[in-house]
Amino acid sequence: MPVPLDAEDVRLIRQSLTVVESRTAEMAVYFYAILFLRHPQVRELFPPNMDVQRDRLLRALLRIVDLVDRPEHLVHFCSRLGRDHRKFGTRHEHYGAVGECLLEALARFAGPAWTPELAGAWQRAYAAASRTMMLAADDDARLRPAVWTATVIAHRRLGPQLAAVTVAPQDPYPYAAGQYVSVETARRPRMWRHYSPAHAPRPDSTLTFHVRAVAGGQVSNALVHETRVGDVIRLGPPEGEMVLDPESSLDVLCVAGGTGLAPIKALIEQMARTRSERCVDLFIGARTARDLYGLDDMLRLSQRYHWLSVRAAVSHQRIVGAEGSLPEIIAQYGPWDRHEVFLSGPPPMVTTAARVLTERGVVPSRIHHDPLDVPVLSSSPDPC
Ligand SMILES: Cc1cc2nc3c(=O)[nH]c(=O)nc-3n(C[C@H](O)[C@H](O)[C@H](O)COP(=O)(O)OP(=O)(O)OC[C@H]3O[C@@H](n4cnc5c(N)ncnc54)[C@H](O)[C@@H]3O)c2cc1C
Ligand code: HEM
């Protein structure tokens, strides 16, 4: 889709953002206040606590402005955003309401810098972005549902703050091993969070998520401590590129911290299923030996499959042979420069491990991991 903005529009929009930049938090409060006041019907789409989303909308706008003179990247980003918005229940008529309030908020906070030319440039930019979002949402609607309703059929505690939650979707849920899913529980309506199925796709389409309750966390605590068999949850479409390339025959290095083991376990199961002969080195890490969940399962698998070797790393406890952070431990082994690498776990671990591996000659394109931040915002700008 062509982006109807000329160089002057781009200049004006960028300049206006430097004016409002220092007041984006106030601007977001104002924007949502007038949006919900004038268009109360959209309030029910949003979660009760709006603090997180405030930041995301503005970050998306900044990204759009950043990409505004690179139409292909902009289309890729907005299309993904549009598909992502289907699960929120966003409809075409909502875009007008959001656009009107957004422009009014920008006008108010830009003050005297707001001119008819600037208003025109923002109108064109918003129209292009929202049209791309709507078109992508419509295309997606022809291919698949916006959400899959599922019922919790098992809930098993794996540790004091960790649970395996198994759900049965009403309709088949196609995904590839290693992907992640947006999840909403009826116990925290409209709060969508991402979780990775901890296994390769099953014939009965059931999914098991390994969820760790984080301090003060809304959805993770509901899933670990409150969820019961029979609860209803909704799933967004599968996402993520941390999947196996069927053409690749390279050996594999997997590094998993905490519940990051879930997608890695899925990838290993998938390799077992396809009788892959690729050698897999798996490093599992945690703060203490007690937190090393899933190690026994993986050791059992390594006894069955000669191509799988499993090692543990513990960062906050003295254990002979396993003491250290995951990046420290993997640096002691190798070489890894002819391996395909899958990293999954807390963002600092993933970032450090990726740095350590690139320093040791691994080509960045062979290092795979999930987004470290809000997936739709941290997706690669490259058009696919
Ligand atoms: C691609 C992807 C895949 C994921 N897969 C899994 C998975 O398989 N299992 C799993 O348990 N989690 C997974 N997560 C994390 C999950 O999506 C949620 O972020 C997490 O459960 C916290 O949500 P919450 O609603 O409980 O916390 P929120 O209410 O959103 O946040 C409450 C507080 O907790 C902090 N917080 C948020 N997330 C974390 C965290 N991960 N660690 C420590 N503090 C945090 C926030 O900064 C905030 O202060 C994944 C995240 C991504 C992006
Ligand atoms: C150009 C227009 C828009 C942009 C740039 C935008 C941007 C975003 C972003 C980046 C997110 C976070 C996504 C995520 O967490 O996965 C989000 C969430 C959301 N958006 Fe939009 N959006 C736009 C239009 C709309 C419209 C028209 C509606 C409908 C009223 C809408 C409703 C929502 C809702 C309900 C959420 C979820 C809130 C939450 O989970 O906290 N958005 N939006």
Burial degree of 8 (CB within 10 A; 0-12, 13-18, 19+): exposed
The pLDDT of residue 353: 96
109 lines ligand 2 (CB under 6 A): no
Q: Please state which CATH number belongs to domain 251-373.
A: 3.40.50.80
Low-confidence stretches of the chain (pLDDT < 50) are none
Selection from 257, 254, 253, 264 nearest residue 316 by Cα = 257
Mutation pick for ligand 1 pocket among 192, 220, 265 (CB with most ligand atoms within 8 Å): 220
Q: Which ligand is nearest to the CA of 260?
A: 1
Selection from 57, 227, 218, 52 nearest residue 133 by Cα = 57
Q: Please state which CATH number belongs to domain 7-143.
A: 1.10.490.10
The pLDDT tens digits for 97-141 are 999 999 999 999 999 999 999 999 999 999 999 999 999 999 999
Please, what sign has the CA dihedral across residues 16, 20, 21, 27?
A: negative
95 lines ligand 2 (CB under 6 A): yes
Q: How far from 93 is each of 42, 96, 213, 224, 243, CA to CA, in Å?
A: 10, 6, 37, 37, 36
In the chain, % helix, strand, coil (3-state, to 5) comes to 50, 20, 30
The pLDDT tens digits for 266-295 are 999 999 998 777 999 999 998 888 888 889
* Nearest-angstrom CA–CA distance, 7 and 318: 60
Which residues lie across from 180 on neighbouring strands?
239
Please, what sign has the CA dihedral across residues 276, 281, 287, 290?
A: positive
Q: How far is the CA of 94 from the centre of ligand 2 (A)?
A: 11
Q: How far is the CA of 161 from the centre of ligand 1 (A)?
A: 13
Nearest CA to ligand 1 atom 52: 194
Q: Which ligand is nearest to the CA of 65?
A: 2
Q: Are strands 367-369 and 207-212 parallel, antiparallel or unpaired?
A: unpaired
Q: How many CA atoms lie within 13 A of 325 on its CB side?
A: 11
10 lines ligand 2 (CB under 6 A): no
Nearest CA to ligand 1 atom 26: 217
The pLDDT of residue 289: 80
The pLDDT of residue 3: 57
DSSP at 197: B
Q: Please state which CATH number belongs to domain 148-239.
A: 2.40.30.10
Which atom of ligand 2 is found nearest the CA of 61? 5
Q: Which ligand is nearest to the CA of 256?
A: 1
The pLDDT tens digits for 37-62 are 999 999 999 998 876 667 788 788 88
Q: Which ligand is nearest to the CA of 86?
A: 2
DSSP at 302: H
Q: How far is the CA of 138 from the centre of ligand 2 (A)?
A: 16
The pLDDT of residue 369: 96
DSSP at 132: H
Amino acid at 307: W
Q: Please give the full DSSP string across 213-280, using - where no structure is assigned.
A: PPTT-HHHHIIIII--TT-EEEEEEEE-S----TT---EEEEEEEGGGHHHHHHHHHHHHHTT----E
Q: Which ligand is nearest to the CA of 261?
A: 1
Which residues lie across from 281 on neighbouring strands?
253, 309
Which atom of ligand 2 is found nearest the CA of 50? 41
Nearest CA to ligand 1 atom 40: 214
Q: How far from 384 is each of 85, 116, 158, 300, CA to CA, in Å?
A: 19, 36, 38, 39
Q: Could you state, in order of their start, the residue ranges of all structural domains in the chain? A: 7-143, 148-239, 251-373
52 lines ligand 2 (CB under 6 A): yes
The pLDDT of residue 183: 98
The pLDDT of residue 53: 62
Q: How far is the CA of 196 from the centre of ligand 1 (A)?
A: 12
pTM of the model: 0.94
CB-CB contact of 344 with 256 (8 Å): yes
Q: How far is the CA of 39 from the centre of ligand 2 (A)?
A: 15
* Nearest-angstrom CA–CA distance, 276 and 289: 30
The pLDDT of residue 48: 87
**Average pLDDT over the chain, rounded to whole?**
92
Q: How far is the CA of 373 from the centre of ligand 1 (A)?
A: 10
Q: What b-and-e string marks burial along 246-283, b requiring 16 or more CB atoms within 10 Å of the CB? A: eeeeeebbbbbbbbbbbbbbbbbbbbbeeebebebbbb
First to last CA, the chain: 15
The pLDDT of residue 175: 97
Which atom of ligand 1 is found nearest the CA of 209? 8
Give me the residue label for tokens 């594999």. Answer: 252
CB-CB contact of 196 with 294 (8 Å): no
